[in-house]
């Protein structure tokens, strides 16, 4: 009987959100952050790995370019030993194959300038946009047209709040953050960030206790409208947990059976949304008037690049100075690192269970996991393509 029940349970998830289960290597034809602007200096070359795509980034005359990080001649990485000779070419350090930054076409070979391959061979290039101190790259099919606007893969613009948080594309905005590698598949990372039940792992965090915040030990959805689908025309797609909708969620402040009680006295409710390709926005966090953005960038099938960014108002030099002080003394050490270290530990602890993809069938979900199921369905419905496993993939 137990075996029969398990077999039955294995059938349902894949039918509900099969594309999500297949997206081990991430979603393609989406915009992803690659580097912070200050991580790529003039004439620098750096390699990044996004959804199995090995990409070399180069800044020349202030503009950023992105291209395939493999020379087609003998397959070495261009970023392995960067050779920067001119402002318009990317030159392979091994044999001098030199490609146009704009079009990826082979323009010359250092030691063989009359070779017949010149003008006939090319490596692919990637669309790039640089805003708010972040370099974004559009990753996916080379012939995908039209390339959607960057704004379609950025957070939902908040308009229904009397004190809406700043959007990444707003003028006079402060944007700072970090990124680091997580040893878990990107899907586990997204679900950890959005999970209504994971408040428990932050129950005793310094971020919560130092400000006397009354954060529930969990929340239960009690109405159908507890979770909203986001489907903006030419804009972001995803879901939002409507914690601000009265009566939609039941906060759990105490569970006598396990002798747990929410700490703090000051009520602090915030709203959370997640949009494709895997971007979390927490409104009024780490403090009121600010927001925290988290991207979970697929790199390979077992790792993700974890981006943690805070966004707040910055209308003058005094506000910028205050924001810098707040970031350096509180946001990064207490929030992005201290608070979020628990999230990294949680998602990495799930990796082995889901590594062979069987975990998606074997998991036992509960009430608050309805939000996760909604996210899986949103990805299956709104994605622009599922990334295939690459032939070659290694650390950038």
Averaged pLDDT for residues 93-120: 97
Q: Return the bridge partners of 146, or none.
A: none
Q: Where are the domains of the chain?
A: 30-129, 149-382
Q: Is the pLDDT of residue 290 over 70?
A: yes
Per-residue pLDDT reduced to its tens digit, 18-43: 999 999 999 999 999 999 999 999 99
Per-residue pLDDT reduced to its tens digit, 125-162: 999 999 999 999 999 999 999 999 999 999 999 999 99
Architecture of the domain made up of 30-129: 3-layer Sandwich (2.102)
Per-residue pLDDT reduced to its tens digit, 96-106: 999 999 999 99
pLDDT (0 to 100) of residue 4? 30
Decide if 282 contacts 331 (C-beta within 8 A). no
Greatest pairwise CA separation for the chain in angstroms: 80
Look over the chain and give the mean of its residue pLDDT values, rounded to a whole number.
92
Place of tokens 């930054």: 101
Q: Is the pLDDT of residue 167 over 50?
A: yes
Question: How far apart are alpha carbons 137 and 128 in whole angstroms?
Answer: 5
Name the band, by pLDDT with cuts 50, 70 and 90, for residue 214. Answer: confident
Decide if 38 contacts 44 (C-beta within 8 A). no
Q: Do domains 30-129 and 149-382 have the same CATH topology?
A: no
Question: How far apart are alpha carbons 351 and 342 in whole angstroms?
Answer: 15
Name the band, by pLDDT with cuts 50, 70 and 90, for residue 211. Answer: confident
Decide if 211 contacts 348 (C-beta within 8 A). no
Per-residue pLDDT reduced to its tens digit, 299-317: 999 999 999 999 999 999 9
**How far is the CA of 17 from the CAs of 292, 351, 359, 377, 379, in angstroms?**
28, 20, 14, 5, 8
pLDDT (0 to 100) of residue 52? 97
What is the pTM (predicted TM-score) of this model? 0.94
Averaged pLDDT for residues 202-212: 80
Does CATH number 3.90.380.10 belong to domain 149-382?
A: yes
Highest mean pLDDT among 11-25, 254-268, 346-360: 346-360
């Amino acid at each position: 009987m137990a075996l029969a029940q398990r077999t039955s349970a294995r059938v349902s998830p894949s039918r509900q959100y099969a594309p999500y289960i297949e997206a081990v290597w991430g979603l393609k034809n989406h915009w992803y952050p690659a580097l912070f602007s200050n991580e790529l200096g003039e004439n620098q070359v750096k390699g990044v790995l996004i959804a199995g795509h090995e990409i070399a980034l180069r800044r020349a005359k202030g503009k950023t370019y992105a291209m395939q990080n493999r020379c087609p001649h003998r397959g070495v990485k261009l970023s392995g030993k960067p050779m920067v000779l001119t402002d318009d070419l990317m030159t392979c350090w091994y044999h001098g194959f030199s490609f146009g930054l704009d079009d990826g076409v082979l323009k010359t070979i250092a030691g063989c300038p009359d070779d017949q391959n010149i003008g006939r061979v090319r490596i692919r290039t990637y669309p790039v946009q640089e805003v708010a101190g972040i370099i974004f790259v559009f990753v996916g099919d080379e012939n995908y047209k039209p390339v959607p606007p960057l704004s379609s893969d950025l957070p939902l613009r908040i308009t229904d709040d009397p004190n809406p948080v700043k959007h990444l594309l707003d003028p006079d905005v402060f944007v700072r953050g970090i990124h680091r590698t997580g040893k878990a598949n990107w899907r586990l990372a997204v679900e950890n960030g959005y999970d209504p039940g994971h408040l428990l792992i932050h129950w005793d965090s310094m971020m919560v206790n130092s400000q006397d915040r009354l954060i529930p030990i969990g929340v239960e959805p009690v109405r159908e409208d507890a979770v909203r689908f986001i489907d903006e025309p030419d804009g972001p797609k995803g879901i939002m947990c409507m914690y601000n909708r009265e009566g939609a969620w039941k906060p759990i402040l105490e569970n006598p059976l396990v002798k747990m009680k929410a700490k703090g006295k000051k009520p602090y409710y915030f709203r959370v949304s997640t949009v494709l390709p895997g971007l979390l926005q927490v409104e009024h966090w780490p403090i009121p008037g600010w927001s925290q953005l988290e991207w979970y960038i697929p790199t390979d099938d077992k790792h993700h690049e974890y981006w943690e960014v805070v966004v707040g108002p910055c209308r003058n030099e005094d506000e910028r100075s205050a924001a810098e002080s707040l970031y350096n003394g509180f946001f990064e050490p207490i929030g992005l690192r201290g608070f979020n270290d628990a999230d990294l530990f949680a998602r990495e602890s799930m990796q082995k269970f889901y590594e062979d993809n069987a975990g998606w069938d074997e998991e036992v979900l509960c009430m608050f996991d309805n939000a996760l199921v909604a996210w899986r369905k949103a990805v299956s419905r709104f994605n622009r393509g599922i990334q295939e496993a690459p032939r070659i993939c290694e650390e950038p």
